[in-house]
Amino acid sequence: MNGVHDMGGMHGFGPVDIERDEPVFHQRWEGVVRAMMARTNGRYYNLDEFRHAVERMPSDEYLRATYYERWLHAVETLLLEKGVITTAELTDGHAMSPAPAATRDAEPRPALEVHFQPGDRVMTRNIHPHGHTRLPRYARGRHGVVRKVYGPFRLPDANAHGDHHAWQPCYAVEFAARELWGDDARPADRMCIDLWESYLEPEEKP
């Protein structure tokens, strides 16, 4: 999903203000939101669904919102969509009926064949899905090197949309900074990104 959330490499948003001695929570409600997410994630929704709920925020609202305001939006959105709460309960702030029983997916991690090994040169696919993905725009169509094989994990692109059985090997792929950002990047800098197998293709040999 090519939304404003995927702003790596974009210009025009101003400097990143670094707050010295920043507290974990600036206000009490932020800690409450963190607890709400910890309590409901994995019971009523998964982390990929949570991330996609943040991505679905209107762009102007996303840019105005603070970090934990985005979290609150995602929790409220998902609990409404999953039928855990009603709009009336959200507005009133009180439960009118018991929440449905939470469930956990205990599907065992499958054994999958991996098609890349550390040291393999790969190229990321140039994809533009309408839904969730963990392949950022700035890393699409780029050349890199596999540095680590993590094994199978659920594919976020499917897991965020209800298909919880799509497992793929995941890899740490290293990119030269100049491959991602051009000649203005420092030549010695490198960046590793965790990427699923369907994001990758073998690099064509000259």
Q: C-alpha 195: how far from its chain's center?
A: 11
pLDDT (tens digit, 0 to 9) for every residue of the chain, 206 residues total?
A: 899 898 888 888 888 889 999 999 999 999 999 999 999 999 999 999 999 999 999 999 999 999 999 999 999 999 999 999 999 999 998 888 888 887 766 788 899 999 999 999 999 999 999 999 999 999 999 999 999 999 999 999 999 999 999 999 999 999 999 999 999 999 999 999 999 999 999 998 66
Cα distances from 157 to residues 128, 142, 153, 198, in angstroms, run 12, 20, 12, 10
Residue 179's Cβ-side half-sphere holds a number of Cα atoms within 13 Å equal to 19
Task: Specify the pLDDT at position 9.
Answer: 84
What pTM was estimated for this model as a whole?
Answer: 0.91
Burial class of 24 by CB neighbour count within 10 A (0 to 12, 13 to 18, 19+): exposed
Q: Which amino acid is at 188?
A: A
Residue 103 to residues 40, 42, 43, 45, 159: CA-CA distances in angstroms?
Answer: 10, 8, 5, 9, 16
DSSP reduced 3-state for 30: helix
Give 204's DSSP letter: P
Ordered domains of the chain (ranges, CATH): 1-104 (1.10.472.20), 121-202 (2.30.30.50)
**What pLDDT does 42 receive?**
92
